Amino acid sequence: MGRLLQFAALAFALALAALPTVAGEREPGAKLKVVTTIPDLADIVREVGGERVEVTSIARGKENLHNVISRPSHLVALSKADILVQVGLSMEMGFIPALLEGCGNPQVRPGGKGFINASDGWQPIQVPAVLTRQGGDLHPQGNPHMNIDPRAGRHFALRIAEGLSVVAPEWKAEFETRRDAYLARLERAEKRWLEFAREWRGRKFVVYHQEFNYLAEVYGLQIVANLEVKPGIQPTPNHLAQVIETMKREQCTVIATALWSKNDFVARVAEATGAKVVELPNMCGGIAGTDSWIAMLDLVHARLAAAFGTPVPPVQ
Amino acid sequence: MNPTSAIRFAAALFLAPLALAQNDNPAAGKDNLPPPSNLVGPGPLTMPASQAAGQPNSQGTTFVTPGMPTLGRRVSSGQVTRFTNDFNPAFSFIIDATGQVSEAENGADGADVFLRTFEIGGNAWVDPNAWAYFTAVAEDEGIGVEEAAVHYTGFGNKNVVRAGRFFVDFGKQMQTHVHDLRTYERPLVLREYLGAELGGDGLQWDSWTTLGDATVVRWSLGAFASLLGEGDEDADPANTPFASVVEGTKREDDFSYTARLTGFTEVGERGTLQLGASARLLPSYELGLGLDAGAIGADLSNTVWGLDATYGWVGETGIDSWTFGGEMLFNTGDVGAELTGADDIYTVVDDSLTGFYAYGDYAWDRFNAVGAQFSSAEVVGDERSELEVYYTRLFSEFHRLRFVLGASDSDVDGSGSKFLVQYTTILGAHGHGVNW
């Protein structure tokens, strides 16, 4: 191949690369294409957006949220999305940065008008004072599992209504009306959950991963041990022995796990201590009857009440 | 300040402490859920937007698919962009050590312990449209720069141009640095046809598009000053007069090229399938026995074609997975040289050789995986094969132990076996540029 031909081929390739690729503008009146990282956010986007939105969730409900594996459909959905809603606080760091870089859609990247970081303005707990890998899989901005906090639905709804209105200001009033209706339903749900939790203060339980710490904080529950040595670090025999000893000493009889973490380590500790294992959803959709965020929190409260042996309020 | 403003200001001063006290009142949670302090209103970002998402994930750098670098893929934390100063590159240091016991019919027997790789890397955004990275490794006499490249993303939404020195986009295993491989060795056929590592100084254009809702197709074209693979450092030219140890040189005015087309789609609820075709073209090169020796042949050309397939299956919780992959390679044109005649003169061999590799990998959780990799290749004057069976244990995302049993066979050199322990640690935020 002659030198001229080689340079021509190179120049052609560069010219193709330089062709401007304009992201498709949303047609007036067209539904907003929204991608959320977890089903919880998808549910609340539907509540607030109603008929105006078409929602896809990347996670399906059963995954370890730090280990969601990207699929081609995620790349396609993000490349066509008007809006991305993520929890933030590094929860989705394992898959969202790569998808965002690969999808080629600047509108849904941080700084784009279609990027909604639903934890903005939230006061996270467990913000590490020192960032060292001795702490395991630390999240520098604090515990990201805020979606299991009974107060989170309200916060998400506010952030989502704001974000949808930025992209489709013509429907702002509609979004706000729907948001307010959702907040009213949430208020009723919150009262129900408080009834469940009336005798929970001081109750003790053990978790596998730090997914239920917001729940503990809200109701004054005590997490006496984590089965993981540190977040993201598998239990060692020595650590499990310490957990068993702690549970016996503290008379702790409940172990809370998510679907992904209901494993042999949990079974071993439960067997050694006689503790009940309660499987809790770490997001919507993973367990039957948890398709909506409110229904998921209902299930969380019902299962914890059953595990603690505390009264279940009558159905209203 | 007018009187109305003054009154408002004074009232605000007076009421502010009361408002704060109201927020701090523990009784507030008695009949209502206690509010987080910033529950209402658009509070400040809890982290810089650039850190919230969107920066290259240093463990994969770009979108990765099954069969790509495993270290850091199964376990992905939020630690890779934790630097408080965004303007600082994220640096990493890799220590990859090996203990080995080997036995060979014609070759070295015995035990050894050695540092296989010490790598220094860095990556950072250059500006809103470009990010760059470098990878340097310790060599016997200093530091060698394996990769130093810039990814420019400003041309359009789905176009990336990479410029500098980097590993070429060929199949799914050639871009990977050795410490990131799923098992100890890169597949034999890749080492024989393309080199132990295949990096070049050049330019690559990369683009992709969607086909339906669950399929993406990507293609790339690359032009490089040189793409002659790195040879086997342990081989002895005096004893092994075959292509893998004959050094190639390029003519000054010729480029080498790469091309790749790949499709990635979903198979059922849990599976994905990636198919790809790759080519490396050397339109004109010379073969020699080093810089001081004369050329064996000039105006030679060589093309290596590859067809690859990878199937990935991930369990519903995302922590257990199966991966099966393989690639068929065709090495055509001037494939090397062999000694011929009574005077043992090197003669260029124009031939068409084929080889392949296949592997299967099962990870039952985020920390444990087993697998096997088999590769076979026709080379000039020989036919070789290699099998590795491994168990990989990740203590964390940055800390890995691997046990490998390997067996090799060669028509010329006979068979051999080895047992390896590979211990790898990552300090800092590890990152390479890779194409899916």
Average pLDDT, chain B: 78
Provide the 3-class DSSP secondary structure of residue A279. strand
Provide the 3-class DSSP secondary structure of residue A160. helix
Q: How sure is the predictor about B429, in pLDDT bands with cuts at 50, 70 and 90?
A: confident
More confident residue, B11 or A250: A250
Nearest C-alpha of chain A: how many angstroms from B289?
Answer: 25
Which of A63, A141, A154 is facing B46, going by the closest CB pair?
A141
Contact in structure between A155 and B39 (CB atoms under 8 Å)? yes
Judged by a CB distance cut-off of 8 A, whether residue B139 touches chain A is: no
Q: In angstroms, what CA-CA distances link B167 with A279, B90, B148, B186, B199?
A: 46, 20, 10, 14, 4
Nearest C-alpha of chain A: how many angstroms from B405?
Answer: 26
Contact in structure between B335 and B359 (CB atoms under 8 Å)? no
Q: Is the pLDDT of residue B247 over 60?
A: no
Q: B313: nearest CA in chain A?
A: A69
Residue range B146-156: mean pLDDT, rounded: 87
How far apart (Å, rounded) are the C-alpha atoms in residues A309 and B12? 48
Q: In angstroms, what CA-CA distances link A157 with A40, A180, A291?
A: 11, 9, 17
Q: Is the pLDDT of residue A255 over 70?
A: yes
How many Cα neighbours within 13 Å face the side chain of B158?
19
Judged by a CB distance cut-off of 8 A, whether residue B207 touches chain A is: yes
Q: In angstroms, what CA-CA distances link B127 with A51, B131, B151, B267, B277?
A: 39, 7, 11, 38, 33
pLDDT tens figures, A86-144 = 999 888 888 888 888 888 898 998 889 999 999 999 999 999 888 788 888 888 889 99
Fold of A198-308: Rossmann fold (3.40.50)
Q: A108: nearest CA in chain B?
A: B54
Question: Residue B289 has what pLDDT?
Answer: 63
Contact in structure between B436 and B68 (CB atoms under 8 Å)? yes
Judged by a CB distance cut-off of 8 A, whether residue A104 touches chain B is: yes
Q: Is the pLDDT of residue B237 over 90?
A: no
Provide the 3-class DSSP secondary structure of residue A29. coil
Provide the 3-class DSSP secondary structure of residue A33. strand
Contact in structure between B188 and B173 (CB atoms under 8 Å)? no
- DSSP-derived pairing of the beta strands B256-267 and B90-104: unpaired
Nearest C-alpha of chain A: how many angstroms from B275?
Answer: 13
Q: Is the pLDDT of residue B253 over 70?
A: no
How far apart (Å, rounded) are the C-alpha atoms in residues A24 and A128? 41
Tell me the two tokens of residue A241. 């022995």
Which chain B residues are within 8 Å of A194, Cβ to Cβ? 31-33
Nearest C-alpha of chain A: how many angstroms from B271?
Answer: 9
How far apart (Å, rounded) are the C-alpha atoms in residues B326 and B307? 8
Judged by a CB distance cut-off of 8 A, whether residue A315 touches chain B is: no
Question: Residue B234 has what pLDDT?
Answer: 45
Which chain B residues are within 8 Å of A158, Cβ to Cβ? 40
Q: Check residue A19 and report its DSSP letter.
A: S
Q: Cα angle vertex A255, ends A253, A261, to 5°?
A: 165
Residue range A43-58: mean pLDDT, rounded: 97
Domains observed in chain B:
152-420 (2.40.160.10)
Which chain A residues are within 8 Å of B77, Cβ to Cβ? 66, 90, 93-94, 137-139, 232
Q: Check residue A233 and report its DSSP letter.
A: B
Q: State which amino acid sits at residue B261.
A: L
Q: 337-366 in B: which are within 8 Å (CB) of A? A: 365-366
pLDDT tens figures, B40-51 = 333 333 333 334
Identical fold for domains A32-192 and A198-308, yes or no, is: yes
Q: State which amino acid sits at residue B327.
A: E
Judged by a CB distance cut-off of 8 A, whether residue B88 touches chain A is: no
How far apart (Å, rounded) are the C-alpha atoms in residues B193 and B231? 10
How far apart (Å, rounded) are the C-alpha atoms in residues A1 and B279? 16
Judged by a CB distance cut-off of 8 A, whether residue B290 touches chain A is: no
Contact in structure between B375 and B386 (CB atoms under 8 Å)? yes
Using CA atoms of B67, B70, B76, B81 in order, give the dihedral in degrees to the nearest 10. -100
Residue range B146-151: mean pLDDT, rounded: 92
Judged by a CB distance cut-off of 8 A, whether residue A17 touches chain B is: yes
Question: Residue B91 has what pLDDT?
Answer: 81
How far apart (Å, rounded) are the C-alpha atoms in residues B161 and B207? 9
Nearest C-alpha of chain B: how many angstroms from A193?
Answer: 9
Which of A109, A121, A139 is facing B54, going by the closest CB pair?
A109
Element (H, E) at A174: helix A172-196
Q: Is the pLDDT of residue B388 over 90?
A: yes
Q: State which amino acid sits at residue B149.
A: A
Judged by a CB distance cut-off of 8 A, whether residue A250 touches chain B is: no
Q: How sure is the predictor about A6, in pLDDT bands with cuts at 50, 70 and 90?
A: low
Q: How sure is the predictor about B245, in pLDDT bands with cuts at 50, 70 and 90?
A: very low
Cross-chain Cβ contact A90/B314 below 8 Å: no
φ, ψ for residue B309, nearest 5 deg: -145, 140
**The CATH number of A32-192 is which of 3.40.50.720, 3.10.20.30, 3.40.50.1980, 3.40.630.30?**
3.40.50.1980
Judged by a CB distance cut-off of 8 A, whether residue A166 touches chain B is: no
Tell me the two tokens of residue B79. 């630690």
Q: 122-141 in A: which are within 8 Å (CB) of B? A: 122-124, 131, 133, 136-141
Question: Residue B24 has what pLDDT?
Answer: 36
φ, ψ for residue B78, nearest 5 deg: -100, 20
Question: Residue B428 has what pLDDT?
Answer: 77
Which ipTM did the prediction report? 0.87
Cross-chain Cβ contact A142/B46 below 8 Å: yes
Interface test with A, best of B23, B32, B33 (most A CBs within 10 A): B33
SS3 of chain B: the string is CCHHHHHHHHHHHHHHHHHHHHHHCHHHHCCCCCCCCCCCCCCCCCCCHHHHCCCCECCCECCCCCCCCCCCCCCCCCCCCCCCCCCCCEEEEEEEEEEEEEEECCCCCEEEEEEEEEEEEEEEEEECCEEEEEEEEEECCEEEEEEEEEEEEEEECCEEEEEEEEECCCCCCCCCCHHHCCCCCCCHHHHHHCCCCCEEEEEEEEEEEECCCCEEEEEEEEEECCCCCCCCCCCCCCCCCCHHHCEEEECCCCCEEEEEEEEEEEECCCEEEEEEEEEEEEEEEEEECCCCCCEEEEEEEEEEEEEEEEEEEECCCCCCEEEEEEEEEEEEEEEEEEEECCCCEEEEEEEEEEEEEEEEEEECCCCEEEEEEEEEEEECCEEEEEEEEEEEEEEECCEEEEEEEEEEEECCCEEEEEEEEEEEEEEECCCCCCCC
Domain extents in chain A: 32-192, 198-308
How far apart (Å, rounded) are the C-alpha atoms in residues B372 and B389? 4
Question: Residue A11 has what pLDDT?
Answer: 59
Judged by a CB distance cut-off of 8 A, whether residue A194 touches chain B is: yes
Average pLDDT, chain A: 90
Q: Is the pLDDT of residue B11 over 60?
A: no
pLDDT tens figures, B263-307 = 999 999 999 999 999 999 988 877 766 555 566 777 888 899 999
Tell me the two tokens of residue B292. 């001081």
Contacts for B215 with CB less than 8 Å, ≥ 6 apart: A72, A76, B263, B264, B265, B266
Which chain B residues are within 8 Å of A88, Cβ to Cβ? 46-47, 52-53
Question: Residue B293 has what pLDDT?
Answer: 56
Inter-chain contacts counted by CB atoms under 8 A, chains A and B: 257
How far apart (Å, rounded) are the C-alpha atoms in residues A139 and A128? 8
**Top-ranked range on mean pLDDT: pick from B65-79, B123-137, B231-245:** B123-137
Provide the 3-class DSSP secondary structure of residue A138. coil
pLDDT tens figures, A143-197 = 999 999 999 999 999 999 999 999 999 999 999 999 999 999 999 999 999 999 9
